[in-house]
Amino acid sequence: MNQRAKTAMAAALACVTLVTSAVAEESPYRKSLTERSKKEGFGRAEAKTLSVVVTSDRGKTAERLRKEASSGTLGKLLALSFDKPSQNGKKTVSFVAEQGYLQVYADGSRFRLRGDLGKVKPTEANGGKERIEIHRLEKIARDYVQGPLKEFIGLQDAEALTFLGSRYFRQGGGSVAGDKGKEYLVANIAILGREIHGIPVVGSGSKIAVWLTPEAEVVGVDVDWPQYERGEKAQPLLSVEELRRRIAAASVPVEDTEKVKVVRFECGYVDLGATRRLAGAPVQPGCAISYRGVEVDEMEGAFARQDFVPAAQQVYPDERWPLANFIARNGEPKPGQSYATPRSEVPQSDPSPDQRDLLPSKK
């Protein structure tokens, strides 16, 4: 091995590069959802029924996205040309270009389009000053969603776009000797959601993430945006006391303890996301409760979870929502049993931008 190779290897061993996401900055609107839900539960006596309408298919959505991307309409960093699919499976169709990729899921209501993050010029961390200011971030994201992305984001009467907050995608490094390395901001991520007649949609559905470089150029988007149909029938909802009893019986925390911290508590229409939606199935009222395990000693591992508890008096069967399915068929939950939604633990490998802040911090 020559001296140059030895030097390169030593440098590689001496430095460890980490990719992380910083603590989220919630919008005042999102903070108010948790405050209101903890105090009032759903906050109303009834809610109109809601169902998903399939108005597109995956192939057509993919073709529209390929066309918009290649034309440059979605932004210069997303001006990508995609050829034939690199993968075309039962639930996902994927395309790869030299400078990015595209994935379209389920019925086409969910997609991910990403430019080349490796070519983004990161900005060194400076006490938060390197971030795009949150109100400016909101405006840029709203303008983008209602402009270049408008064809894919349909808002019906009495529906509103909401701003949930920001996430920050960072890159940092350090030496194996323990020397503290520098940290850099790679992308600012704006998270948006939806309200229907004043009721928020909670869960993975009805979410948009707009990824912006430090120079405020769009370098990626994540979208899960179905079309809903609002029925005329109203579902009576549980009172706040009844709702808390149901949550407690399902062994889901609503308050902080020594071992658990409740990150968010949001009540609204529960949409579990594109891969769990069924056409014509009811989108039921409920609460999304996100919480994080707190490490109290070295023997206990940290974790992050998001559970969903129905909030209506009458609950409909839903095979993809175990707690709703149990209540619909058997009555109220029994303390001590597990009713977790499948994969409700936040995945460590590729969490959605809206879940990144739920992950335990790395030491």
> For residue range 197-255, what is the model confidence (pLDDT) as tens digits?
999 999 999 999 999 999 999 999 999 999 999 888 999 999 999 999 999 999 898 88
In this predicted model, which residue has the larger pLDDT, 229 or 302?
Answer: 229
Average pLDDT over residues 119-148: 94
pLDDT band at 46 (very low <50, low <70, confident <90, very high): very high
Predicted local confidence at residue 173, as pLDDT: 56
Give the angle 308-313-315 at the CA atoms, nearest 5°: 55
In terms of Cβ atoms closer than 10 Å to its own Cβ (0-12, 13-18, 19+), residue 224 is: buried
Tokens, residue 39: 């105090």
Predicted local confidence at residue 328, as pLDDT: 95
> DSSP label at 168?
E
Predicted local confidence at residue 8, as pLDDT: 40
Range from 293-302, 320-329, 334-343 carrying the lowest mean pLDDT = 293-302
pTM: 0.86
pLDDT > 70 in the chain, percent: 82
Predicted local confidence at residue 29, as pLDDT: 97
Pairing of strands 15-26, 285-293: unpaired
237 in Cβ contact with 199 (< 8 Å): no
Predicted local confidence at residue 357, as pLDDT: 52
Predicted local confidence at residue 353, as pLDDT: 53
pLDDT band at 133 (very low <50, low <70, confident <90, very high): very high
Is residue 76 over pLDDT 60? yes
Predicted local confidence at residue 91, as pLDDT: 86
Average pLDDT over residues 31-53: 94
Predicted local confidence at residue 30, as pLDDT: 96
Could you read off the pLDDT of 256-270 as tens digits, one per residue? Answer: 888 899 999 999 999
Predicted local confidence at residue 278, as pLDDT: 77
Predicted local confidence at residue 363, as pLDDT: 37
Average pLDDT over residues 347-354: 45
Predicted local confidence at residue 126, as pLDDT: 87
Average pLDDT over residues 59-67: 95
Please list, in sequence order, all residues whose beta carbon lies within 8 angstroms of the beta carbon of residue 19, skipping any fewer than 6 positions away: 169, 170, 171, 172, 186
Is residue 332 over pLDDT 70? yes
Predicted local confidence at residue 48, as pLDDT: 94
**Rounded distance between C-alpha atoms, residue 102 and residue 68, angstroms:** 12
Which residue do the tokens 């979605």 mark? 74
**Rounded distance between C-alpha atoms, residue 266 and residue 41, angstroms:** 9
